[in-house]
Chains A and B, each alone.
Chain A
């Protein structure tokens, strides 16, 4: 099955592409809405600001293409800001609606630790949650760069702690999101990508 990587200008697409190819993905990198709408397996990357990423999706009709693909039964993995885009709403610089594919809201980290979080953090799978994505790395350490995150999201499958618990990964039906950077998380990150790529 071909994996379709959404070629967002507000993402480090090259790094994720390289990591996906390394774990055996047959990759199509595109920003064509039709190709995205017809994809069976989608990866939505993102770095930087939520609002810039969301604007780009809307202006290029990629938001509706993603919805169409999901409605057709495609699986989807959001990475970092791509993960945040899956939620209902983000409170980064005002309030911006996301894709609404998973439930919950994205907030700025509160508490006393320096923001952004830059570095490795331990990710704990939720008790009884879906382990598809984390098979083999159920208690892994992953690399994060983020100032915002969801917390206690209803679709949370894994969490981490940064001055308080936050949602490290979500899953709803065939939609997955990871707040960390699997492409920078060495073997554990590659394992997560492999789990997604080989999942049917």
Chain B
């Protein structure tokens, strides 16, 4: 999949309009310096939108296109192209392709005229969609044709590419409309546009069969992602499988399961559960020791030892780890990695100390997050008490201190089967580079997909769903494979 930087132009400058309002302009400077600052390499495709042209209906920024075409960029330009004359003016200025919106949706005759004169390879159809309806004239009115009709017409003219924007997602930084792109029945190469704000978004788009490219504007300008990094990540999007991780909550040597961290019930022998999960294809196992007292800690170490004796996948253990000695004891008992939660919130240096002593790969930050008003707070004492610390900032700090991975549990969703908290996941995955394990709320197959695709999680954890055999790990893996998400 190609990743295409996108710039909006106004008065010869790169700008961004707040909610499409020409009175609320953020300027980023002249196109050349912006392209330099974004490290856009020669030969790259570049998407330009001439904002004034889309307002006035005639090409304005021809000179910018002339200059950029000379820099060996394959420029595609859009904005109010309503006639063959406009289209020709852009091509003559050096644009490789023109992006045609309203005319493509509402004026089949003009579209045909442009394609006949310039060739179908010069044309990208731009289709803006809101709630499944095609919108035209700067999103102000509904198109006469349906989305399926517009796609069929564009395809019949021999046009190869369609830039599809979900208006509700555009500029919102909440992720693109994966469901829309996945639902499209077309042979066209889709250029996804709108809401692409994280590296995870780019990777997820690359896994959707019809999507051949995506355009990214604001996320590049705001330095939320690097173009080179995004391109590297999609070069081999399927090499690294996403992980399915069953979790055993263990107390006094038995597996237990509670709803919202309370109301605990017995769910079996940890060694038997672990062996069953590995046989089913679990990529890793998490054991959370929820026994509250020191007296039971010895039992927990024995449990870890017993489980690790017959397990040939990585084992992460957490719960009640307060000191570097607790950490060491769990590694000695057979854990590959140890999750720290409350103790790290009280003493963040513990993360750095453990990373130095045992390696970054051994340290997992377990963050229990609870929604409080418009943000998330990191909780302590098994999710019962707020630390007052912002969960997203805390995850970021933990990454800097040296945690190898973050196990991110939504306290609100835990045990509810209502789905992972995608907003929480996005908030964290958009600010850290290390992997995030989604936890809390899994109840159906699509929840796993959404956590990875929309949430940006690199692993998904579930406990009760697997214990109760409502789904097997194999079910989840088959489903994800069908959705284009690689698994082991």
Contact = CB atoms under 8 A, between A and B. Distances in A.
Interface of A: 14-15, 18-19, 22, 47-48, 111-114, 116, 118-122, 141, 143, 145, 160-163, 183-187, 189-190
Contact of A116 (B226, B308, B361): B361
Nearest to A160: B239
Interface centre among B241, B309, B313 (most CB of A within 10 A): B313
24 contacts: A14-B334, A15-B308, A18-B309, A19-B312, A112-B226, A112-B229, A112-B232, A112-B233, A113-B232, A114-B434, A114-B435, A116-B404, A119-B243, A119-B458, A120-B241, A120-B488, A141-B488, A143-B314, A161-B239, A162-B239, A163-B232, A184-B314, A184-B336, A186-B312
Interface string B211-230: 00000000000000010110
Contacts of B243: 119-120
B360 A162 contact: no
Contacts of A162: 239-240
Size bin of chain B's contact surface: 20 to 34
Contacts, number: 67
Given A116-B360, A118-B404, 5 more contacts: A18-B309, A114-B435, A162-B240, A184-B336, A186-B312
Nearest to B359: A48
Nearest to B309: A18
A161 B233 CA distance: 11
B405 interface: yes
B435 A122 contact: no
Interface string B432-454: 01110000000000000000000
A186 B226 contact: no
Contacts of A121: 239-241
Q: Is the interface of A mostly helix, strand, loop or mixed?
A: mixed
A190 B278 CA distance: 13
B460 to A, nearest CB: 13
A124 B243 CA distance: 19
Contacts of B488: 120, 141
B236 interface: yes
Contacts of B434: 114
In the A-B complex, list the 7 residue pairs whose CB atoms are closest, starting with the nearest: A112-B229, A141-B488, A161-B239, A145-B361, A114-B433, A161-B236, A112-B232
Interface string B354-368: 000001110000000
B366 to A, nearest CB: 16
Interface in B373-414: 404-405
B232 A111 contact: yes
A118 B312 contact: no
B240 A120 contact: yes
A19 B278 CA distance: 14
A15 B233 CA distance: 33
A21 to B, nearest CB: 11
Contacts of A141: 241, 488
Interface in B186-244: 226, 228-229, 232-233, 236, 239-241, 243
B169 to A, nearest CB: 25
Nearest to A12: B336
Residue of A15, A120, A122 ringed by the most chain B CB atoms within 10 A: A120
